[in-house]
Structure 1
Amino acid sequence: MRVVAEIPHPKTKITIFSWNGRYLVKFEYGFLEQTYKVSEMDLTSENDINEIVSEAFVSKVMVRFLEMEKDFGQAINDVV
């Protein structure tokens, strides 16, 4: 797996990897991660990834992170 790029963002770490004929778009927020995979064959170039990782998409990713954080917190509280 090789790192293709890191896209700067104030709220989440965004790393693009190339692996096994796919691009992996990995978002990190605290102890949570979201990874999206897209076939290299579906894109014309690595630059297409920047269009995929639009501010609208990142906003939805951030909403999902907040939901994940809430759900995981509740799951931990149920155990403790």
Structure 2
Amino acid sequence: MRHVADIPHPAAKITLFSWNGKYLIKLEKGPLEQTYKVSEMDVSSDADVRELLDEEFLQAAVQRFDLMWQDLQAAMERHDLF
């Protein structure tokens, strides 16, 4: 896996990788992560992948982190683990 770039964002750590014919967009916030795969055949360069990371996409991803955290908390409580 080749590290392509770290993309600054105030709400999540964003890292772009290239691996096995795909770009991987990895977003991390605390103990949670989201990974999106984009085929290198669908874009002409990593610049195209960066264009996907517009405000609408990133806002939805950050909201998804909140939902993921709520799901994890609910599961922990159901099993008396928290």
Say yes or no: TM over 0.5.
yes
Gaps of 5+ in 1: none
Residues 16-35 of structure 1 mapped to structure 2, 5 A cutoff: 16-35=16-35
What is the alpha-carbon distance in structure 2 between the residues aligned to residue 16 and residue 64 of structure 1? 19
1:5 aligns with 5
Q: What is the RMSD computed on CA atoms of the aligned residues?
A: 0.5
Which structure shows the higher helix fraction? 1
User: Which runs of 4 or more aligned residues in structure 1 lie more than 2 Å from their structure 2 counterparts after TM superposition?
Assistant: none
Instruction: Establish whether residue 51 from structure 1 lines up as the match of residue 51 from structure 2.
Output: yes
Using the TM superposition, give the Cα deviation of residue 46 of structure 1 relative to its aligned residue in structure 2, in angstroms.
1.1
Gaps of 5+ in 2: none
Q: How many residues align?
A: 80
What is the alpha-carbon distance in structure 1 between the residues aligned to residue 43 and residue 32 of structure 2? 27
Query: Normalising to structure 2: TM-score of the pair?
Result: 0.95
Using the TM superposition, give the Cα deviation of residue 45 of structure 1 relative to its aligned residue in structure 2, in angstroms.
1.1
